[in-house]
Amino acid sequence: MLAKFFAQLFNHKKTPAILGLLLVGSLLYVDMTDNRAVNILLNRFEWLVYDYRMQLTHYSVAPAHKKIVIINIDDKSLQKQGRWPWSRETLADLTQKIIDLGVNVVAFDIQFSEKESIRSPYLNQRIKQLKQEGKDELAKELLSIISSNYGDKKLAQIFSENDVVLGFTFHSNPNSFTSGTLPEATHFLPEDTRFYQHMEKMLGYSVPIDILNQQEQDHEQQTFNGFINASTDADGTIRKSKLFLNYQDKLYASLSLESVRLNLLADQLFVKTYNEELAYFSFAKGEENFIPVQRDGSILIPYRGTYGSFEYISAIDILEGKVSNPGTWEIALIGSAAPSLFDSHSTPVQQHFPGIEIQANIIAGLLDNHFPVKPEWNYLYNDLFIFLVGGLLALIFPHLSPSKQLTISLLFIASIISLDFYFWKTHYYALDSVLPLLTLIVLTLFNVSYGFLKEFNKRRSMQQMFGQYIPPQLVEQMSKTNESFGFDGERRVMTVLFADIRNFTSLSESLSANELKNMLNAYFTPMTEIIFNGHGTIDKYVGDMIMAFWGAPLHDKEHALNATTAALKMLETTEQLKPEFKKMGFPEVSIGVGLNTGEMNVGNMGSSYRKAYTVLGDHVNLGSRLEGLTKNYGVKLIISEYTYQQIKDIYAARMLDKVRVKGRAEALSIYEPIATYHSLSDEETIWQNAYQQAIERYYLMHWGLALKNFESLLEKRPDDKTVQIYIERCQDYLIEAPEENWDGIYTHLSK
C-alpha cells in the first residue's frame, strides 16, 4: 500500500511544477528579504563573478592616466637616501621639487602621526661628554638644534604654501585614541540628511601632528586632509572605497576625493539624493556630470589594470632633479610600493596590489567620472528574471526531457553572462547575476533529479506545522484543501488579539512557582479553547499574555467578527473563573484585551534553528498598543476603527476616543464593543444613546453641554473611567480653550 501511495504521488503531473514554483518563490523571497546569513553567502559568489568580470575587462593595455603620477619611495630610493622614515627636511625638499614640476596637488598616502626625532643614544652621550669637558655652550647649541623641530617646521612651511593633502585615519572603535585637530568637514549643497544617515558613524580619529596639520583660522592657507581608511570586504579584498565618512553627523572626504576637489578648485560639493540607496554629487553647481555614490558613502573602484597601470616615478629621481613634467601631470601621489614597505592589499585584479595605486585608480575615476555602478534597476532585474523566467521554466521543465532542460538552461546562462558583459562594457554596470544563475541551476538540478526526491504525507506535514497553533479539526480541514497557507510569508488582511492579565506581577509575587504554573494552566486552557472554537490561531504565550490571530492559515472572511466574539467570550469566561480560582486558593484574575484588523505579514518565520508561524507588521503592534490602553480608559476590551467597521452591523459599540498611540503617526478612533444588538437591554440602549450625544457635543466643542451630559452619565455609572476622562477634559477646555486647529485627537506617549 505504501509503495502504491508513493508511486501515485511521484506520477502526479502537477507535483514537479508546483515544487518548482515553490523553489522560484523561495529564491524570490530570498532576494526580497534582508537575511544576513543568506546575504553573506550570496555576496561571496557575487564577489567571485565581479572579480572575474573585472579581470577579463580591465584596461591593462591602456596608457597611463596623463593627469596622475605616483612618486614611489621604491627600493632604489631607499638604497640611496637611507631607510624609512626619511627626515622631514628630505620630504620637504621632495615636496617642493614636485611642486616645481608644475603639479597642482600633492597627496601623501602617508600619515605623519609623530614628531620627527633625531635624538639617539650617541647624541645623548655626546652632549653629556661635552658638558663633562666644560663645553657647555657647545652642548647647549647642539641640544637646541636637536630640539628645534627644524625638519617639521620646514615641511609645515612647504605644506602651508601649496595645495598638499595629508592622510589621516578614522576609527570605529569607541576605545580608540583621538588626538589633534580634525579638519573641517566637507561642505555640501544642498544639505540632505538622507545622504549620510546610512553611513557608518566613526567614533575617533588620528590626524597628523599639529605643526603639519594646520587647521587654525589665522593661517593664510590651511593644510588639507583626507582619510585613508581602507574598505575591505569580508573575504579581505578591496573592491570599493569610501569617499565619505560620517563623524558626529558631519561628512569628511577621502584623500582621493579631497585631492580631486583641490585640483578642480571646488570649494564645495553639490549633492542630489536619488533614493535611499543611491546619491549623486558634482564639483560644480549646475554640472550634469554627477558622480554616483552608494548610501554608505562608497564607490566601486574602477581598476584600470594590474600593478603598474599608472606612471611611477622614483622619489630619488625627483630629489636628484632627473625628472621633467611632460606638461600633463596635475596630481602627484606620494607613497611606497617597495617590497620592504609594501602597503599590499588584495584586489579583484591582483592578489598583491599597492595601496598607493588604489588611490590613483580612485582619483582617475573621479577625474573621468567613470565608475562601476550597480544601477537602481538591478534588484528589479533580478526579481523580474526570477519571477518571469524562473516561473516559466518551472512550468515547462516537467514536460521536457533532461537533455532539453539542460540545453535550455545553458542557453539562458549564456544569455545572462552575455548581457552582464554587455552592460559592463557599454555602461560600466555591475549587475548582480548570481541569483538569476542560481535560479536556472536550482530548477535544472531539481527537475533532472526529481525521480530521486521523496515527498512526505501532506496531512502529516500540516499536523507538524500547525498542530500547536490551531485545533485538530482545522488541520484536518486544511489537509483537504488546495489553498496556499503562506509558509514562505505573505500579506493578508487579518485580525490580531492581545490579552493580558491585570497586575500580574503583584499576583505572581503572592504565589509559589508551582502555584503560579497551575494558575496559568487553569487560565490558559479555557482561553485557548475559546480561541480554537472561534477559528483562531494561537500565535504565542508570553508570560501572562496570549497573542492570537484570525485569517490565517485558512482564509476567514469573518475574521474580525469571530475575533470580537471570542474576545467577549474570554471576558465572560474570566468572570466565571473568579469563584473557581477563589476555591483553589488563587487570586482573582482580570484581563484586558486589544483587537486590531489590518494588513499583516504572516508566515513561518525565524532562524534555521527554530521557526514559528506568526504575524508581523504595524497593525500587529497597534493591537498590542490597544490592549495597553484598556487600563487608561478603565475598560476590558478595546478594538480599532478598522475592526469596528467589520463588526458594526452585528455589535453595538461605543467610541472611546480619537487617539494617536506611541510609535504610530496616524491617528484612529477606538471603540469598546458592548454586545450584539439583539441582546442589548433597553436600559443599556438609552445609556449608549446618551453617551453618543455627549461625545458628539464634545467634538463639536460645545464644552458646557457636553459636560452636563457626561456628569449625568456619571451619576448612573460612577465607576466609568472614560466618562470621568471626558468630564476632566471639558472642565479644562472651559477654563482654557484648545488651539484653533484642535482635531480632538489625544496622543498617548507611553505604551
* Position 649 in a domain: yes
Residue 362 lies in a domain: yes
Closest C-alpha to 596, from 541, 530, 664:
664
The reply to whether 141 and 30 lie within a common domain is no
Q: 360 and 285 in one domain?
A: yes
Whether residue 615 is found in the same domain as residue 708: no
Does residue 578 or residue 278 have the better pLDDT?
A: 578
Rounded to an integer, the average pLDDT of 52-58 is: 80
Asked whether residue 587 falls in the same domain as residue 659, the answer is: yes
Q: In this structure, are strands 591-606 and 164-171 parallel, antiparallel, or unpaired?
A: unpaired
pLDDT digits (tens, 9 = 90+) for 506-518: 888 888 889 899 9
Q: How many CB atoms lie within 10 A of CB 56?
A: 10
Q: Which three-class secondary structure state does DSSP give residue 14?
A: coil
Residue at 471 is within a domain: no
User: pLDDT tens for residues 335-390?
Assistant: 888 766 667 889 988 888 898 999 999 999 999 888 888 887 887 888 888 888 88
One domain, residues 654 and 685? no
**283 in Cβ contact with 264 (< 8 Å):** yes
- Look at 146-150, 206-210, 322-326, 425-429 and tell me which has the smallest mean pLDDT: 146-150
Instruction: Look over the chain and give the mean of its residue pLDDT values, rounded to a whole number.
Output: 82
Average pLDDT over residues 663-685: 91
pLDDT of the residue at 83 = 82
336 & 384 share domain: no
Average pLDDT over residues 51-70: 77
* High-pLDDT (> 90) share of the chain, %: 31
461 falls within a domain: no
* Residue 689 located in a structural domain: yes
pLDDT per position as a tens digit, 160-193: 888 899 988 898 887 777 777 788 877 766 556 6
Helix extents (H) in 102-221: 121-132, 136-147, 150-161
Give the closest residue to 140 by CA, choosing from 122, 127, 125: 127
- What number of CA atoms fall less than 13 Å from residue 596's CA on the CB side? 24
- Whether residue 117 is found in the same domain as residue 225: yes
pLDDT on residue 458:
45
Strands 278-282 and 201-202, bridge-based pairing: unpaired
Instruction: Please report whether residue 590 resides in a domain.
Output: yes
Domain contains 473: no
Cell digits for 350?
591582483
Query: Distance between CA atoms of 134 and 163, rounded to whole angstroms?
Result: 48
Read off the C-alpha cell for 222: 590651511
pLDDT of res. 62: 56
- Domain extent, residue 102, equals 68-368
671 and 687 housed in the same domain: no
Q: What are phi and psi of 225, to 5 degrees?
A: -130, 150
Q: Is the whole-model pTM more than 0.85?
A: no
Q: What pLDDT score was predicted for residue 6?
A: 44
Q: Are residues 697 and 731 in the same domain?
A: yes
From 350, 368, 386, give the residue that closes a domain: 368
Residue 457 has pLDDT above 50, yes or no: no
Co-location of 555 and 592 in the same domain: yes
Amino acid, res. 694: A
Cβ(512)–Cβ(588) under 8 Å?
no
Do strands 291-294 and 311-314 pair parallel, antiparallel, or not at all (unpaired)?
unpaired
Per residue in 698-751, pLDDT (tens digit) is: 999 999 999 999 999 999 999 999 999 999 999 999 999 888 889 889 888 766
What digits encode the pLDDT tens for the residues 598-632? 999 988 787 767 677 889 999 999 999 999 999 99
Do residue 362 and residue 385 come from a single domain? no
In angstroms, the CA 202 to CA 246 distance is 6
What does the pLDDT average to over 43-52? 84
